[in-house]
Amino acid sequence: MAKKKRSKFNRFIKKSQRAKRKVAGHSHQPLLFPKGFLWGTSTSSHQVEGNNTNNDWWAWEHGRGKKRVAEPSGAAANQYELYENDFDIIADMHNNAHRLSIEWSRIEPEEGQWNWIEVEHYRKVLQALKKRNIKVMLTLHHFTNPIWLAKQGGWEQRRTAELFARYAEFIAEHLGEYVDFWITINEPLVYVSESYMLGKWPPAKKSIWKTAKVFFTMARAHRLAYREIHAEMHKQHRIARVGIAKNVVSLVSYRKKFIDYVYVRVSEYVWNNFFFSRTRGTHDYLGVNYYFHNRVKRDKGGKLVFVDVRQEDRDRSDLGWEIYAPGLFDVLLELQRYGLPIYITENGLAAINDHKRTRFIVAHVKELYHAIKAGMDVRGYFHWSLLDNYEWDKGFEPRFGLIAVDYETQKRTIRPSARVYARICEENAITHEILRYLGHGAHEEDS
């Protein structure tokens, strides 16, 4: 009799729970992405290839800037030799796209001298992706410059725009058949600010005049390269999709005053929109790199300052960057003004704690789903990064990779977060099971 009562009680509890879920609108349906959505990862040549001895970063690491970098890049992740193995991992993760860069200093080690051995190397790299049915997003400039160009003044010289366009045309002519999407320049404002405003990266100059000059030279270089790539692809009867990868920020003010609102809006325009505006008409899509959410407030003296999110104990990366997934939705909403398709060309987390990376991925991809449902034309997501890599002046300590790298042995280890991302890619959806990772630290077993 007691068992019967218990059974009846259990049925009552289950029925109540089902009713409660129904009232709350709880759904187990997967959050589906559009058919053909691109799922991929990103890397850059200097950060993963190793031994890029002909560029200005290598010279900086071993010369005047050696005290400003944590350590030299050396062999990095040695992807120059291990790319086949790494691309097998990409395929196993059910990625249908990959973003990588070509090292200009390998292709043109001296002005006007093309290294055909390196051209053939990159041909094999791109063919390896195509053999695995992976679409290629190719970056032509990712912070590094040939030493010969740097000695001539680099991006401070107007002539560099023409030299870059010539290089872009060369790559389009000889390797364009393997490229689905082109990125001319990665994060131009990051390069400009780190190298010419803050003076932390080569050539380490602090000058407002040179900052502006380099900005406008890069904008001109993109416009010229855009036209050269399109012209060459037209000759080959191929479609060219050309853009840039732009680092964008989400910004909020703690004080709801008009002057603070103006500050936020102007800051967002300058950082997020000014380069797009200066190069309007030469973008087939918008490439968006999202890492930063900044908060501003007034200090005791009334001065606008950035909030130290550590004092508020906010979730952040190992580099101290706040993790704020809704900011991705906000910047996408802002970029709708251009009426162009959008690809998230970078989004990632420096973290030793891989459970944090898992939650990061699910939270940000979920924001993309909401953006698409809100009518935004988002067509792809490239997680940064496939591999642990050389993080510029910070060296090898920050760990961004879905794949862990032992830099002494070059052994690759697939992190649990990579398995979660692979499931999203395979399903082209965030399933109810995946959504549980946004709960209280739930995580997948390492086995």
User: Please, which pLDDT band fits residue 12 given cuts at 50, 70 and 90?
Assistant: very low
Distance CA 419, CA 89 (A): 11
pLDDT of 15 above 70: no
Taken in order of first residue, the domains within the chain and their CATH numbers are 31-437 (3.20.20.80)
Q: Of 432, 436, 430, whose CA–CA distance to 32 is shortest?
A: 430
Q: Average pLDDT, stretch 85-114?
A: 98
pTM of the complete model: 0.92
Q: What is the DSSP string of 129-164?
A: HHHTT-EEEEEEESS--BHHHHHTTGGGSTHHHHHH
Q: What is the DSSP string of 320-352?
A: S-B--THHHHHHHHHHGGG---EEEEE-----S
In the block, which residue shows the tokens 């979730």? 315
What tens digit of pLDDT does each residue of 123-169 get?
Answer: 999 999 999 999 999 999 999 999 999 999 999 999 999 999 999 99
Q: Average pLDDT, stretch 37-46?
A: 98
Supply the pLDDT for residue 444. Answer: 42
User: Please, which pLDDT band fits residue 28 given cuts at 50, 70 and 90?
Assistant: confident
pLDDT of 23 above 50: no
What tens digit of pLDDT does each residue of 418-429 get?
Answer: 999 999 999 999
User: Chain-wide mean pLDDT for the chain?
Assistant: 93
The residue type of 150 is A
Q: Of 131, 230, 222, whose CA–CA distance to 176 is shortest?
A: 230
Q: Specify which residues 252 forms β-bridges with.
A: 295
CB 331 within 8 A of CB 368: no
> Half-sphere exposure of 136 toward its Cβ, with a 13 Å CA cutoff?
26
CB atoms within 10 A of CB 146: 23
The sign of the CA dihedral 432, 438, 442, 446 is positive
Radius of gyration of the chain (CA): 23
